[in-house]
Structure 1
Amino acid sequence: MMTLSGKQIQKLGKRLKEADASAEDLALLDEFRREFDDRLLAISGDVSSAVHSAGIRYLLAGRAKRTKSIIRKLRRQANRDMDLSRMDDIVGLRVIVLDPVSQQDAIDVIRRANKEVREPFDYRHLPAGRYRAVHLVLGEPSRRVEVQVRTLAQHLWADACERFGERAKEGDPTDDEQGYLDKLGAFCVGIDGGSVDGPAASDFLGRYRVLHSGFTTPQAQGEQMHSYVVTYNTLTDQLVRCEKFPSTSEGRREALDFYKYQVSHLLDTEFDVLVLNSSSEAALRVTHPRYFPE
Structure 2
Amino acid sequence: MPMSNSAVQKLGKRLELPEAVSEDDLTLLEDLLVDYSELLTSARGDIDELCDIVEWPLGVTHRLKTTDTLIQKLQRAKARGSSTNLARIQDIAGIRVSGRLTLTEQDRLADLVVERFERQGHKCSIKDRREDPMVGYRALHVIISLSGRYVEVQIRTVGQDLWANVFERMADIFGRGIRYGEPPEYGGKAVTDIIASMEKFSATLYGLEMDVAASVISGREREASLARLDSVLVALREILQDIEDVKGRSVT
Aligned positions of 1:209-248 closer than 5 A = 237=248
Instruction: Give the residue type in structure 1 aligned to 2:33.
Output: R
Aligned to 1:188: 205
| 7 and 190 in structure 1: CA distance in 2 versus 1, 3 angstrom threshold | closer
TM-score by length of 1: 0.63
Q: Which runs of 5+ in 1 are unaligned?
A: 211-234, 239-269, 271-294
State the number of aligned residues.
212
Give yes or no for the alignment of 1:137 onto 2:137.
no
The answer as to whether partners of 2:159 and 2:205 remain within 8 angstroms in 1 is yes
Aligned residues: CA RMSD: 3.1
| 139 and 237 in structure 1: CA distance in 2 versus 1, 3 angstrom threshold | farther
Q: Which runs of 5+ in 2 are unaligned?
A: 184-190, 213-224, 239-245
Instruction: Give the residue type in structure 1 aligned to 2:170.
Output: F
Q: Can you list the C-alpha shifts for 1:164-213, whole angstroms capped at 9, x where unaligned? A: 21122112354222233034314422552338889xx97x5424568xxx
User: Rg bigger for which structure?
Assistant: 2
Aligned to 1:14: 13
**CA–CA distance in structure 1, aligned partners of residues 157 and 2 of structure 2:** 37
Query: Which residue of 86, 95, 114 corresponds with 1:93?
Result: 95
Aligned to 2:242: none
Point out 4+ residue stretches in structure 1 off by more than 4 angstroms. Answer: 195-198, 207-210
Return the offset for 1:124: 1.2
Of the structure 1 ranges 186-195 and 135-144, higher mean CA displacement relative to structure 2 is found in: 186-195
| 159 and 43 in structure 1: CA distance in 2 versus 1, 3 angstrom threshold | same
TM-score by length of 2: 0.72
Q: Which protein has the bigger helix share?
A: 2
Give yes or no for the alignment of 1:169 onto 2:186.
no
| 161 and 104 in structure 1: CA distance in 2 versus 1, 3 angstrom threshold | same
Return the offset for 1:136: 0.9
**CA–CA distance in structure 1, aligned partners of residues 37 and 150 of structure 2:** 11
**CA–CA distance in structure 2, aligned partners of residues 55 and 101 of structure 1:** 14
Return the offset for 1:53: 1.4
- Secondary structure of the equivalent of 1:42? helix
